[in-house]
Amino acid sequence: MGADLWAAMATRLKFRSPSGGRLPHSDVQTPGDPKDHEKLLFVWASLIGGNSRVEMTVAITGGSGAVYPYRFLNHLAAEPAVSRIYVVASSSGIRVLNEELELRSLTLNNLAEKIVESGREKIEVLNNNDIGAKIASGSFPVDAMVVIPCTMGTLGAIANGVSRDLIQRAADVTLKERRKLLLVIRDTPFNLIHIENMRLVTLAGGVIFPAVPSFYHRPASINDAIDQFLYRIMLQLGLQPSKAYRWQGSKVE
Ligand SMILES: Cc1cc2nc3c(=O)[nH]c(=O)nc-3n(C[C@H](O)[C@H](O)[C@H](O)COP(=O)(O)O)c2cc1C
């Protein structure tokens, strides 16, 4: 089979796979893998059916930076490759959204309506107390989970497998199923407990993705800086946000 065809198939495998939705790097395998026949069937079916859809969980905890989940949800909902977004927020997350976005009356029930402009139909809001929700089980295929922002408290709970609410349980499931978990942590400075918890999550396969925007693309505004940071998250998830800045290299004078 030609290299180009394998490359095309690998691109399709970025998204939903028969293995239940792991992201590309773990799914792309070389010819000869025992599961090739299953994957080939899936690839051909998806090439014919145009089924390249991503489902993901977005969890919002009570860290500062409500603008991150606000803009991230809007970018994800507008992204054609994303078909479903499960949103779950902690009570502190709802509180900080209200405080920082100056909304006051945002609740779980009106969250999508209040903060998502288009593509709202892709969003399903889940209750953080509902530890029986679909994303609480590894048998339910979700491609990835992003906790944005992720407090030090939730980081600690995830790092130690506490699983006392839906966010913590879904993150635990994401790790055990070897799916992609990104924690957009937000605090400064860090104590040793935070650092140890980040180490544990990293060892378990999670990605610590600190809320640290870059400036090498010369942002024209705070929103511009934030958006480029959010596009970096989307790139990590295998998405291709069209407005993502790509460094082209620079020359030393
Ligand atoms: C306005 C506000 C901003 C906060 N910012 C942070 C923060 O940036 N990082 C953090 O770890 N906790 C922050 N906290 C504290 C957490 O919200 C608090 O520890 C909470 O219990 C975390 O619960 P959760 O992880 O379930 O959302 C903030 C609280 C408030 C009210």
156: DSSP letter = H
| pLDDT computed for residue 47 by the predictor | 43
What mean pLDDT value characterizes the chain?
85
| pLDDT computed for residue 170 by the predictor | 98
pLDDT in tens, 26-41: 333 334 444 555 455 4
Cα-to-centroid distance, 90 and ligand 1 (Å): 10
**Domain assignment present for 252:** no
Atom of ligand 1 nearest to the CA of 65: 8
**Domain assignment present for 192:** yes
Contact 97, 69 (CB under 8 A): yes
Global pTM? Answer: 0.83
pLDDT in tens, 37-75: 545 544 444 443 444 589 999 999 999 999 999 999 999
**Domain assignment present for 95:** yes
Residue 115 has pLDDT above 60, yes or no: yes
Q: Are residues 59 and 109 in the same domain?
A: yes
Residue 2 has pLDDT above 60, yes or no: no
CA triple 56-155-192, angle to 5 deg: 150
Residue 93: CB within 6 Å of ligand 1? yes
Residue 156: CB within 6 Å of ligand 1? no
Where are the alpha helices (H) located in 90-249, listed in sequence order? 91-101, 111-115, 152-159, 166-176, 192-203, 222-236
Write down how long the chain is. 253
Mutate to test the pocket of ligand 1, among 151, 154, 212 (most ligand atoms within 8 A of CB): 151
242: DSSP letter = T
Q: Are residues 41 and 58 in the same domain?
A: no
Lowest mean pLDDT among 8-22, 111-125, 239-253: 8-22
Residue 98: CB within 6 Å of ligand 1? no
Residue 63: CB within 6 Å of ligand 1? yes
- The CATH number of the domain holding residue 95 is 3.40.50.1950
Q: Are residues 58 and 41 in the same domain?
A: no
Mutate to test the pocket of ligand 1, among 96, 104, 184 (most ligand atoms within 8 A of CB): 96
Average of per-residue pLDDT across 144-164: 98
| pLDDT computed for residue 52 by the predictor | 59
The values of phi and psi at residue 118, to 5°, are -130, 155
Structure token pair of residue 198: 């980040």
Residue 191: CB within 6 Å of ligand 1? no
Range of the domain at 85: 54-236
| pLDDT computed for residue 36 by the predictor | 53
> Could you tell me the strand order of the sheet in which 54-60 lies?
123-127, 82-89, 54-60, 144-150, 180-185, 207-208
Q: How many domains does the chain have?
A: 2
Q: Are residues 101 and 150 in the same domain?
A: yes
Residue 99: CB within 6 Å of ligand 1? yes
Q: Are residues 88 and 143 in the same domain?
A: yes
Q: Are residues 75 and 199 in the same domain?
A: yes
pLDDT in tens, 190-235: 999 999 999 999 999 999 999 999 999 999 999 999 999 999 999 9
| pLDDT computed for residue 251 by the predictor | 87
Where are the alpha helices (H) located in the chain, listed in sequence order? 3-13, 24-27, 36-49, 67-78, 91-101, 111-115, 152-159, 166-176, 192-203, 222-236
Q: Tell me how far apart the alpha carbons of residues 107 and 129 are, in angstroms, rounded to a whole number.
A: 14
Q: Are residues 64 and 131 in the same domain?
A: yes
